[in-house]
Amino acid sequence: MDDAIPARAEELQANAIADLLGGCRRVAVGMLSPVPGAGALLAAHLSGGQTQVTILGSRAHSRFTNGGAELFDRAGRGGIDAFFLSGGQIDGRANINLVGTGDYPHTEVRWSGSFGSAYLYFMVPRVVLFRWEHSRRTLVEAVDFISAPGVSEPGVHRPGGPVALITNLCLFDFDRARARFRLRSVHPGHTLEEVRDQTGFDFDAPAAVPATPLPDAARLAALRGPVARQIADIYPAFAERVFGLATAQ
Amino acid sequence: MKPNWQDDVDTLAAQVPDGASLTVQKGDERDVPMALAHALVRRGVRGLHVITLPTAAYPASGMMVDLLIGAGCVDSVETSGISLHELGAAPRFTQAVKAGRLKVLDATCPAVYAALQAGAKGQPFAPLRGLIGTDLLRHRGDYRVIDNPFAPGDPIVVVPAINGDVAIFHAEMADAEGNVWIGRDRDRLLAAHAADKVLVTVDRCVPGCFFDDEALAAGAIPADLVHGLAVVPGGGAPWLPDGRPDLAAVRRYQQAALDDDRFEAWLQAEVRVRDAVPA
């Protein structure tokens, strides 16, 4: 891809995710996470070998030898520094819902399921939430089903939890002590008013909201070169759509 | 021929009783026994309880579980996720839940692994961190919270063991003794240890014995754990021989599965007729 082409939304998002991963030793990327996967691979590229990325379902990007349980076993021992979760609904306390809307089990809309969230959200110190439809139906006051809670009662073993939420409009930090999001930046082309209009929960915001940084030329080149080729291994449809990487299919 | 070799995939399917609990793999390897699933549909199996280890959310595995549900073979599933991966939702699963025709025991991946490991060891349950405060736990009558007996004041969840009646999966190859090679992913070995009966399809049979080569032995399931084995070249479709899923085939399935009549036509053409006629 031509570097003169302006950064696409997914590239800005992946770039912002890479910035959230500074200092991580091992980052794991789960299901249905192509943009976080690209962000993690960019972070690894920028880290000079400090950050290792494990992508579930990828042969090329996994050195796990003990089956699917290894991710959870390692996380239980504190060996996974960062992970990514999404939700059909995410609420203002960072509860996530991956199961469906309505009165469970009679869900009006049924999603695929909770995957590892009900464990990894507790165990991984730096969980980055992502949702690429920023709207009042996705970012709600209270989720219909708690697949994994943003915060836990005192006495519950919980070394991990959410640190941030990135959407197609903005980036929030999460304050675990207050169980509340605080707006960090708004993506170029969007405004605080738009974020407020489209968000179903209350959040804090600084007096002057900065713009989410665009990737510089070196980062764009990395995203469109090595990162794109690596992510195509597990997300061929995504790599074709965003980076124009043609595959045999 | 060793006792675990079977004539064909339909002989294997005959060994899955109606109402069985059936474990299936997550499908990021070429481990999806699609030809066997087709044979189960042809045999008209009913009332299955499908346990996904821990999900069926890659294109091939999601498609296999989805079509078993759509064909009316499945009454209930225990799963941490069913989808067609980046292609989107599993249409028949979604539709069956909405229609109230499918009972779902929602789980989380490490709980399934913990339960399966307990099952493989012959233990009644396993403890697991996390889960406290989730609606998953609230709706799972079979999960409990206990106080850590070694450090009181530390609540922890326990989950009951999983021992499926039948484990089904595909693998690349078996040797002349009926040992099955799976490579580095241990999930199929764990499934074989935990299930009462293990039915396997392989693309090919190779001469010799994997246990004569230490590198191959490390990724092998011994024949005595495998009750039924059939050579079914391409039995793991829509995985392609180059190690990628045939996304075009999964998309065609997905389009058909969005609609009752189109799904029935797909079943008729791809499962009931096509597989029954030698190519």
Listed by start position, the domains of chain B span 9-122+163-273, 125-160
Segment B56-67 shows an average pLDDT of 96
Distance of CA B270 to the CA centre of its chain: 20
Contact (CB, 8 A) for A1 and A246 = no
Q: Kindly give the residue spans of alpha helices, DSSP state H, lying in B122-213.
A: 135-139, 187-194
Closest CA to B201 of B3, B7, B4, B9: B9
Residue B223 DSSP one-character state: G
The tens digit of pLDDT for each residue in A164-221 reads 999 999 999 999 999 999 999 999 999 999 999 999 999 999 999 999 999 999 999 9
Contact (CB, 8 A) for A18 and A212 = no
Look at residue A119 and give its three-state secondary structure.
Answer: helix
> Does the CB of B147 have a partner CB in chain A at under 8 Å?
no
Contact (CB, 8 A) for A93 and A140 = no
CA–CA distance, A243 with A7 (Å, rounded to integer): 11
CA–CA distance, B7 with B14 (Å, rounded to integer): 12
The tens digit of pLDDT for each residue in B106-145 reads 999 999 999 999 999 999 999 999 999 999 999 999 999 9
Name the B residues in 96-125 with CB < 8 Å from any A CB: 97-98, 100, 103-104, 106-111, 113, 117
pLDDT of the residue at A247: 60
What was the ipTM of the complex prediction?
0.94
Segment A211-236 shows an average pLDDT of 94
CA–CA distance, B41 with A152 (Å, rounded to integer): 45
Q: Which CATH number fits domain B9-122+163-273: 1.10.730.10, 3.40.50.300, 3.40.1080.10, 3.40.50.2300?
A: 3.40.1080.10
Chain-chain contact of B97 with A107 (C-beta, under 8 angstroms)? yes
| Option in B93, B110, B133 nearest A119 (CB) | B110
* List of chain A residues whose C-beta atoms are within 8 Å of the C-beta of residue B185: 67-68
pLDDT of the residue at A144: 98
* List of chain B residues whose C-beta atoms are within 8 Å of the C-beta of residue A100: 97
Contact (CB, 8 A) for B20 and B44 = no
Segment B251-269 shows an average pLDDT of 97
Full-model pTM: 0.95
- Chain mean pLDDT for chain B: 95
| Option in B81, B86, B154 nearest A115 (CB) | B81
| Option in A67, A107, A123 nearest B190 (CB) | A67
pLDDT of the residue at B130: 98
Percent of chain A at pLDDT above 90? 85
- Nearest 5 degrees, angle CA A64-CA B162-CA B182? 35
CA distances from A107 to A97, A98, A145, B48 (A): 12, 12, 10, 22
Residue A159 DSSP one-character state: S
- The whole-angstrom distance between A193's CA and the closest CA on chain B is 32
Distance of CA A172 to the CA centre of its chain: 12
CA–CA distance, A210 with A192 (Å, rounded to integer): 10
Question: CA nearest B28 in A: which residue?
Answer: A57
Phi, psi of B203, rounded to the nearest 5 degrees: -70, -35
| Option in B54, B85, B153 nearest A155 (CB) | B153
Chain-chain contact of A69 with B190 (C-beta, under 8 angstroms)? yes
